[in-house]
Amino acid sequence: MLKIIIADDERIIRETISQLIDWGGLGLELVAQCKNGIEAYNAILDESPDIVITDIKMPGLNGIDLVEKATAAHLNTQFIILSGYGEFDYARTAMKYGVRHYLLKPCNEEQIVASLKEVTEDCYRKKATQQMEKQHALLQYTLRQNVIFNILSQAVGNGENERSKLYSLYRMYLDFDQTAYQMFCLQGLEESHLSDGYHALEQWLHTQAPGLALYGVYVHGNLFVFCQQYDLYFDSSRELQNLLEEALPGIAFTLQTYRFSNLAQLLDDLIQQIAVYSTIVYLNGSHFVSACNYRSTLHAIKELCDSICKAEHSDQRLEYMEELQHRLAAVVDPDFLVQLASSLLLHFASHSKFCTSAQATEIMLKLREFHVVEEIREFLFPFLTSIVSNTGKDSGSDQDLILRLQQYVRENISNPNLTLKWIAENHLYMNVDYVSRKFVRVTGQKFSAFLTDVRIRYAKKLLSEYGTEQIHVIAEQVGCGNNPHYFSQLFKKSTGLTPSAYAKMTHDAAASEGQPGQQKS
């Protein structure tokens, strides 16, 4: 479901639109109604909406400024501009930022719904085509693929309650509830033709949505490939059927396509289908790894990981770690050893023990460079020993997570494009919704409020030292970019004073303190 925000300084317009539209029927969730531009931008920082309906003229930041700031922050937010007759030419300025949707006031329900449908389709297309364009895409895909492997390998044979626990455990890495998924089942495929069938399916999917992250499992003639749903109106096409027939000549196969409202629903269905088989083959990068001979190893390693996490003393942890390394040393398949190593790294990070998600992801990515078991062990074992030999500090705790986030904000406060989404995905390697909830739980405030507070505190320090002669420099240093007007509006909204009034007040107070016989104010 896509998130949407309404921003308009006229309450009657905000409330009318919010009550007029059947948001759920359009696959949308209305997450905020804002009465000015600054409030709207803060809501964008907090909610990471997919769509914003905004008026042109608003106090603080106008609609064009709002589009400009969101675009500069690379938020991929789609905008619908509300404009009057006299403002339409002005609204055209937004075209350079990619805005293509306008509503001329007054507008009716039919016009609003038509625009929302167009923008929704644009959102889904952009989500698919831009998914893997960012620099951290390989890290995220490596992490998520190992999470999927971990869930499937642990959940097979367990009940629904155990699966729910696993989903909760890994919720910081994947969205199990909100994002829709689709799955393809290629039936009648012998293992000798597995690679040909998968690569044909992969080729077709990547032409439809470049960079789409694929996950796969193969059991007894059935290849299951699944990914996020990239098209609300997707159907199997004749083009895909022809491509598969060319890749699999003379093979009598069938192709089924399924849609799921979320990942948890898909995994529940998939686990039930594969649990009855003794041999399960998992997708690892672009090839498959058999897990048929290692079920006891998987179970033993999970128990050892649990014991390490629960141990109160480092000596106990090291004893369990020696046994764990002994188990890993018995694995001779390098691909499966990498999968096992990734599984236990995720276990340590997910239980908030010994290593962070960022550290785990970096190690998992490095492991993929090795293809010989001895090299994997030589790299992995010293790292495992080192992380369990520490004092047991909970380096992955909620408090530590938020402290690292806050420290990053303070160190990069001059960046005008700081957003929770960017920090979560590029610095913490976590799901933005998960980090947002943790931030509010630990600090008692939203991220935008914290970001504004840090900017204002730093601005007060600079104004006290330098006054307002270099107001444009101060605006840049506190992250308001080349926009002193926005800085002044933000400062006044937060303090009740203009920057010049605050600078004069602090200057007068300092002068008063420096005069003999006068009391400090």
What pLDDT does 330 receive?
73
Helix (H) or strand (E) holding 78: strand 78-83
- With respect to residue 520, please indicate whether it lies within any of the assigned structural domains: no
Residue 285 and residue 144 share a domain: yes
pLDDT tens-digit readout, 91-132: 667 777 778 888 888 889 999 999 999 999 988 888 776 654
Q: 375-381, long-range: CB within 8 Å, 24+ apart, which pairs?
A: 376/334, 376/337, 376/338, 376/341, 377/325, 377/328, 377/329, 377/337, 380/328, 380/341, 381/325, 381/328
Rounded Cα–Cα distance for residues 443 and 451 (Å)? 12
pLDDT tens-digit readout, 221-274: 999 999 988 764 445 567 888 889 999 998 999 999 899 999 999 999 998 888
pLDDT tens-digit readout, 453-471: 999 999 999 999 888 888 8
Domain boundary among 388, 416, 432: 388
**Planar angle of CA 149, 141, 335, nearest 5 degrees:** 50
Cα separation values, 5 from 11, 53, 73, 417, Å: 14, 6, 17, 19
Rounded Cα–Cα distance for residues 203 and 242 (Å)? 13
Residue 233 and residue 143 share a domain: yes
Predicted model pTM: 0.63
Residue 258 and residue 183 share a domain: yes
Which conformational region is residue 157 in: left (phi greater than 0), alpha (psi within -120 to 50 degrees), or beta?
Answer: left
Structure tokens at 232: 């609300």
Identify the band that residue 395 occupies on the pLDDT scale cut at 50, 70 and 90: very low
- With respect to residue 377, please indicate whether it lies within any of the assigned structural domains: yes
What pLDDT does 346 receive?
85
Domain boundary among 107, 129, 151: 129
Cα separation values, 512 from 466, 468, 503, 520, Å: 18, 20, 14, 7
Residue 76 and residue 7 share a domain: yes
- With respect to residue 518, please indicate whether it lies within any of the assigned structural domains: no
Rounded Cα–Cα distance for residues 338 and 90 (Å)? 57
Residue 65 and residue 50 share a domain: yes
Find the CATH number of the domain harbouring 488: 1.10.10.60
Pairing between β-strand 181-187 and β-strand 101-104 as defined by DSSP bridges: unpaired
Structure tokens at 329: 């040393």
Total structural domains within the chain: 4
Residue 303 and residue 274 share a domain: no
Residue 174 and residue 278 share a domain: yes
Residue 146 and residue 220 share a domain: yes
Rounded Cα–Cα distance for residues 280 and 156 (Å)? 10
Cα separation values, 79 from 104, 455, 468, Å: 14, 26, 35
| Residues 253, 236 contacting (CB under 8 angstroms) | no
470: containing domain: 398-512
- With respect to residue 483, please indicate whether it lies within any of the assigned structural domains: yes
- With respect to residue 202, please indicate whether it lies within any of the assigned structural domains: yes
Burial 154-173 (b: 16+ CB within 10 A, else e): bbbeeeeeebeebbebbbbb
Residue 122 and residue 71 share a domain: yes
Sheet holding 2-7, edge to edge: 28-34, 2-7, 51-55, 78-83, 101-104
Helix (H) or strand (E) holding 144: helix 137-155
Residue 122 and residue 142 share a domain: no
Residue 242 and residue 141 share a domain: yes
Residue 280 and residue 153 share a domain: yes
Highest mean pLDDT among 55-69, 88-102, 288-302, 450-464: 450-464
- With respect to residue 519, please indicate whether it lies within any of the assigned structural domains: no
Cα separation values, 410 from 72, 117, 349, 450, 466, Å: 20, 40, 25, 10, 20
Domain boundary among 105, 129, 153: 129
Identify the band that residue 329 occupies on the pLDDT scale cut at 50, 70 and 90: confident
What pLDDT does 159 receive?
64
